[in-house]
Amino acid sequence: MIVGQIRDLIRSGSLPVGTRLPAERDLCERMNVSRLTLREALRALEVSGLIQIRAGAHGGAFVTAPDTDRAGQGLTDLLSTSGLSASQVTEARIALELGTVQHICERATEDDLRELRVLCDQAEEARELGSYTVDMSYSFHLRAVQASHNPAIGMIMGSIRDAVLMSMRAAHHEGKQGVEEHRAFVDAVGRRDAAEARRILAAHLQRTVDAVAGD
């Protein structure tokens, strides 16, 4: 209950990032709880990444912004214990990534396009050397959704990194065709051709769905 109350204050903006929480005694009196109960709640909030507890004369509990790595690990743990399959994760990717294509085509800058092409070049070189990994594919897809310039979309994609990598590894097929599709997608975005970009990405992701079908 105490955890929920403090979390609600943080999420509502009543306690912005960087804010120091009131002293333990004040919080105990305000919430009518013991110090032991409060400290357990603060530890739970620290584990979740919502606060940071600092020691020393200028210490205390400070509101922090949870990072995507921490959130992603928590989501990966949830996925691994929920019985979700690689195909279900891939279907979720399709909903997220295809739904972002229009924004990518409208908002991608020249810097975005250049960085995506660099990733394509690196992937092509790695493929020829036999060192291409699914991490490289994920980096491309993450950078692509970031080109939508909607921080929420980038954060969501970043937070499900491990789950996406799991589904990519299960597919076992990212090779020449995948790299070529990445490059064709960037070219379509560069032409602001959302329909073509969506068609390419849909076919690209569908191959993953087909590869992990039944998992």
With a cut of 80, say whether residue 149 has pLDDT above it.
yes
Q: Determine how many CB atoms are found less than 10 A away from the CB of residue 35.
A: 11
* Residue 143 token pair: 């950078």
174-181 average pLDDT score: 84
3-state secondary structure of 182: helix
d(C-alpha 52, C-alpha 61), whole Å: 6
Domains 2-63 and 68-212 share a fold: no
Domain ranges for the chain: 2-63, 68-212
Q: What pLDDT digit, counting tens, does each position of 74-120 carry? A: 666 666 566 678 888 889 999 999 999 999 999 999 999 999 999 99
CATH architecture of structural domain 68-212: Up-down Bundle (1.20)
pLDDT-based confidence at 191, cuts 50/70/90? very high
pLDDT of residue 62: 92
Whole-number mean pLDDT of the chain? 88
What does the block give as tokens for 144? 């692509």
2-63 carries CATH number 1.20.59.10: no
Which residue is it, tokens 């050397």?
A: 129
How many CB atoms neighbour CB 161 within 10 A?
20
pLDDT digits (tens, 9 = 90+) for 40-82: 989 888 877 888 898 877 888 999 876 666 665 666 666 656 6
User: What's the pTM value of the predicted model, to 2 decimals?
Assistant: 0.70
